[in-house]
A = this chain, B = another copy of it.
Amino acid sequence: MSDTLSVGKKLVDLCREGKNMKAIETLYSPDIVSIEVSGGPDMPARMEGLPAIKGKSEWWVANHEVHKAEVDGPYPHGDKFIVVFKYDVTAKGGPMAGKRFFMEEAALYTVHDGKISHEEFFYSMG
């Protein structure tokens, strides 16, 4: 199996088990680059390095109660693969606090030397 497909399958398996932080810790390069559709002063669209990306994931976990998560993929092509995430969540903080909503996004990952070196998220801003 190619590195790409192998890493993609591990990521999908861990995310299906809700072990997103373990996925970051075991599958991500120390030099990971992560790109959101948009950003703000506290959380720029482009973030670099494992500590920043772990921080983003910790923020997400702390601010969302997940009722159901669905993960589709991985869909590989060369050194890249795509995964689709669908979440049924209630926001625990911020302007959406207490509101239950459905969110879905696609993520495009690049694998370099057996580790995820780049991730880019695709979603509508609602």
Contacts and interface: CB of A to CB of B under 8 A. Distances in A.
Interface stretch (A46-54, A57-65, A71-79): A71-79
Contacts of A105: 75
Given A37-B77, A72-B72, A77-B37, A106 B123 contact: no
Contacts of A37: 76-78
A33 interface: no
A123 B77 contact: yes
Q: In the complex, which range does the number of interface residues on chain A fall in? A: 20 to 34
A108 interface: yes
A7 B120 CA distance: 20
A104 interface: yes
Interface stretch (A16-24, A80-88, A90-98, A110-118): A80-88
Copies of this chain, tallied across the complex: 2
A80 B37 CA distance: 11
A112 B123 CA distance: 19
Interface of A: 5, 35, 37, 72-78, 80-82, 84, 104-106, 108, 120-124
Q: Which 9 A-B pairs have the closest CB atoms?
A: A75-B122, A75-B106, A82-B106, A77-B122, A82-B122, A37-B77, A75-B123, A84-B84, A75-B105
